[in-house]
Structure 1
Amino acid sequence: MNKRLLEIRARKMEIRKALEGEGKVNLNALQEELKKLDAEHEEIEEREKIAQGIQFDKEPEGVQKRSKPQAAVKKNPYESDEYRSAFMEYVTKGTPIPAEFRDAATTTDAAALIPPTTLNRVIEKVRTYGNILPLVTRTAYKTGLAIPTSNVKPVAKWVAEGATSEKQKKVLGSITFSHFKLRCAVAVTLETENMTLSAFEDIIVNNVAEAMVVALEESIINGTGSGQPTGILADKSQGVTINAAKLDYNTLIKAEAAIPQAYEAGSVWVMSKATFMSFIGMTDSNGQPIARVTAGINGVPSRVLLGRNVELCDYLPAFSTTLNKTDVFAFIYRMKDYVLNSNYSVAMKIYEDNDTDDLVRKSIMIADGKPVDFNSLVMLAGNATA
């Protein structure tokens, strides 16, 4: 170590002992001295650092430098340009995938895996496409895995001094995810015999993402749970159902009152655009509109009812006086309480439609979804009798 650095450290120790002692010291003088010592200390270290850097890359003469062992990097064969090109040839011309790229674990209903490079773009677009899908919780659990859920929460009680409270047993249920096959026939229009790889991948991304989103979002709301994910509205006995003969202000008030306060944050309305416009068009006894539409700086009305955001979709019927008491046309739900489980591994197969002689390209995906909490669910249904 630099000799001067040792002297600086020794002097700092002397100052420290003086400050910790009981004798009278000149604090201002010692403080000024410490500042100077610190500045000098930093300057010496900086000089040494610069000096060492000058010699850092200089190799001693007569010494042979030994190369560092390179870590083996396992490359995904489906990421290669060769496989991406082979996949394009398969989709556009029906050319079989080379044997070295065939995945033995692939289901018999799928002929080729979409390359990860392209699939990542599909997933990125899927997660931002549509209104419903970005709101739910997405997981990648193994199929058959049971997720514990609790339907009883412990309650704290006031007790007298020295007294004890009753022990409470927490009851746990479980949600088990299956593996359903999502088959989306994609209308990939490929009119040219020759196209660039980037142009081909752009077409695949747009078509597959749109087909997947429509199928997934519809199952999130109306899925039966048989051969497909379980939708939020699959079990009408869950949550609260309000039968509405007409759309009025009182209907909104009843729906808002039915939401537990603990589930206020994050719960949103889901309905068709026609139903939303009917709410916006409500009038009082004098024919004056009672709803105010707040427009943003871009002039687009904010879709909000009584301060609650509204998500529009085409998966629910528009309100009508002919809707039965089991026909849900709008609902409030905290969408993060719906879990969509998928590994996002998408395969593609080409087959010929014998009726139309058209080549159909379909994408196949394994997914399942279930609502894990119904406490925030409030449904608006029709009031007509079947």
Structure 2
Amino acid sequence: MNKGQKKFRFALNLQTFSGGAEGQARLTEIEARKGEIRALLEGDGEVNIDELEAELRSLGEEAIEIRESMVREKRKSLAAGIQAGTVEARQTNMFTPGDTPDPAKEVRKAAEKRGKELKEMRAVTVGSSNVVLPKHTASDIRGTFNEVSSLIDRVTHKPLPGGESFEQPYLKGYGTGDYTGEGANYADAEPVFGKVQISKAKVTAYAEDSEEILKLPAADYDGEVMKGITIATRKKITREILVGDGTTNHLTGIFSTAATAIDAGTDLEVSEVDEFTLDEILFNFGGDEDVEDPSVLILSKKTLKAFATLRNTDSKRVYDVKTNGNTGTIDGVPYIINSACKDVDTATVGQYMMAYGPLSNYMLTIFSDIDVQRSTDYKFKAGMIAHKSSVFVGGNVVSKNGFLRVKKAAAV
């Protein structure tokens, strides 16, 4: 090399050799597109994950090929410079000693750092790279069909925090005046009262899940478990409003013989749903002086289907059934579905199938709030998380003949 010849240190610059500018531009495009794909995968919109991940892999392979091509061009440029005497031979490794990156060394340093932090009982985070594409998980959980009748929300609620039992008086009827002679005693016409007892019942639910479900997925599985046991509690109570047997630690349901406010002699018997069924229910409910305004008919989905599919001789619908999820109307009469009701087709003789009346005639006493708790102590070694919920409630019919009960009659 001539003494006067200019010397320089060759620093890495991908745009200093032939094809470098074009390669760098394409790399910029690739990185931009990869950013767009990651945004799509992490977003809430519907995407084809397989296609996007395949495109990511293809872009990664293309970027590797471009960089390898650029490195080859760089080496050719260095070799030509050395041969011409314009670059010192000690620079043929492409980088100055201070500029040389060592990926393996960087990986080892990161691993050592994580190891030290683990020994110090500290949490560590390990990032992912483009070498292994991450598996993306939805951030929500798709629900299932409704499993809780809205009956529980529409009866009368009476909060009695810390209580044990409750007595609700109700009016059975009024007396009747009578003719009275001069100097004779007045006719007795006292109102007649009754009372019902509502005692405390404990309703519980329990579930377990693993700590992996709590920590790893993006979707809130653990939150869904907490929600699930609350629904399980409500699901039990709304059924017991109808079929609770009234024994110790049980609600008293509308269909129970322990619902003493209802005179069993007023029960209506039907063998099938026909064109007269709804009228029979309406005109048999209430007192002798009035036809009551439409209340609510409680029935099963299958019995509702029997109303909806009933046809007359010219194949026209007998009843106008309008549905709206758990509720709706039959010829303008409101109904509510509860799966605790037996359906008209499979019920045996004497089994209750429907109830009709104002839902306010049933009282649900709330002796405590629903208490939902989570614990990691039980099965700690196995990494399981326990969930439990409990509530103290009571219930009973609190009005004289507050509901007309419909049961299966023997076939004629």
Please, which of 362, 366, 370 is the counterpart of residue 346 of structure 1? 370
1:326 equivalenced with 2:350 (yes/no): yes
1:133 equivalenced with 2:152 (yes/no): yes
Please, which of 390, 393, 405 is the counterpart of residue 364 of structure 1? 390
Amino acid of the structure 2 residue aligned with 1:312: I
Q: Tell me what 2:317 maps to.
A: 289
The alpha-carbon deviation at position 324 of structure 1 amounts to: 2.2
The alpha-carbon deviation at position 150 of structure 1 amounts to: 2.3
Encode CA deviations 1:219-243: one digit per residue, 9 max, x unaligned. Answer: 1010011221100001285363232
Q: Tell me what 2:330 maps to.
A: 305
The alpha-carbon deviation at position 162 of structure 1 amounts to: 12
Q: Answer 1 or 2: higher relative contact order, Cα 8 Å, separation at least 6.
A: 1
Q: Tell me what 2:232 maps to.
A: 211
Distance in 1 between the 2:294 and 2:164 partners?
Answer: 28
CA separation of 1:315 and 1:358: change in aligned 2, threshold 3 A: farther
The alpha-carbon deviation at position 256 of structure 1 amounts to: 1.3
Distance in 1 between the 2:238 and 2:326 partners?
Answer: 24
Amino acid of the structure 1 residue aligned with 2:328: R
Distance in 2 between the 1:301 and 1:218 partners?
Answer: 14
Q: Give TM-score scaled by structure 1 length.
A: 0.54
Q: Tell me what 2:270 maps to.
A: 244
Distance in 1 between the 2:352 and 2:225 partners?
Answer: 35
Contact 1:224 1:230 in 2 (8 A): yes
CA separation of 1:221 and 1:302: change in aligned 2, threshold 3 A: closer
Contact 1:240 1:377 in 2 (8 A): no
Distance in 2 between the 1:306 and 1:382 partners?
Answer: 22
Please, which of 309, 314, 326 is the counterpart of residue 339 of structure 2? 314
Question: 1:246 aligns to what SS in structure 2?
Answer: coil
Question: 2:314 aligns to what SS in structure 1?
Answer: coil
CA separation of 1:344 and 1:186: change in aligned 2, threshold 3 A: farther
Contact 1:263 1:375 in 2 (8 A): no
The alpha-carbon deviation at position 359 of structure 1 amounts to: 5.9
Amino acid of the structure 2 residue aligned with 1:229: L
Distance in 2 between the 1:268 and 1:211 partners?
Answer: 25
Encode CA deviations 1:326-381: one digit per residue, 9 max, x unaligned. Answer: 1112221221111111133334476969xx99765321111111111242422222
Distance in 2 between the 1:160 and 1:189 partners?
Answer: 84
CA separation of 1:267 and 1:157: change in aligned 2, threshold 3 A: farther
Distance in 1 between the 2:196 and 2:178 partners?
Answer: 30
Distance in 2 between the 1:191 and 1:369 partners?
Answer: 40
CA separation of 1:221 and 1:201: change in aligned 2, threshold 3 A: same
Amino acid of the structure 2 residue aligned with 1:285: T
Q: Tell me what 2:241 maps to.
A: 220
Distance in 1 between the 2:276 and 2:387 partners?
Answer: 49
Q: Give TM-score scaled by structure 2 length.
A: 0.51
Question: 2:367 aligns to what SS in structure 1?
Answer: strand
Contact 1:328 1:379 in 2 (8 A): yes
1:1-386 aligned at under 5 Å gives the runs 130-141=149-160, 142-155=163-176, 166-186=187-207, 191-194=212-215, 202-203=223-224, 206-226=227-247, 227-235=249-257, 238=264, 240-260=266-286, 264-265=292-293, 267-293=295-321, 303-320=328-345, 322-347=346-371, 348=373, 360-384=386-410
Contact 1:239 1:374 in 2 (8 A): no
Q: Tell me what 1:125 maps to.
A: none
CA separation of 1:187 and 1:308: change in aligned 2, threshold 3 A: farther
Question: 1:362 aligns to what SS in structure 2?
Answer: strand
CA separation of 1:383 and 1:360: change in aligned 2, threshold 3 A: farther
Amino acid of the structure 1 residue aligned with 2:369: S
CA separation of 1:159 and 1:200: change in aligned 2, threshold 3 A: farther
Encode CA deviations 1:4-23: one digit per residue, 9 max, x unaligned. Answer: xxxxxxxxxxxxxxxxxxxx
Distance in 1 between the 2:156 and 2:300 partners?
Answer: 22
Question: Please, which runs of 5 or more residues in structure 1 have no aligned partner?
Answer: 1-128
Contact 2:211 2:383 in 1 (8 A): no
Amino acid of the structure 2 residue aligned with 1:275: T
Question: 1:174 aligns to what SS in structure 2?
Answer: strand
The alpha-carbon deviation at position 295 of structure 1 amounts to: 7.7
The alpha-carbon deviation at position 209 of structure 1 amounts to: 2.9
How many pairs align? 249
Structure with higher Rg: it is 2
Overall identity of the aligned pairs, in %: 16
CA separation of 1:159 and 1:307: change in aligned 2, threshold 3 A: farther
Contact 1:293 1:302 in 2 (8 A): no
Distance in 2 between the 1:162 and 1:201 partners?
Answer: 80
Question: 1:220 aligns to what SS in structure 2?
Answer: helix
Distance in 2 between the 1:333 and 1:277 partners?
Answer: 21
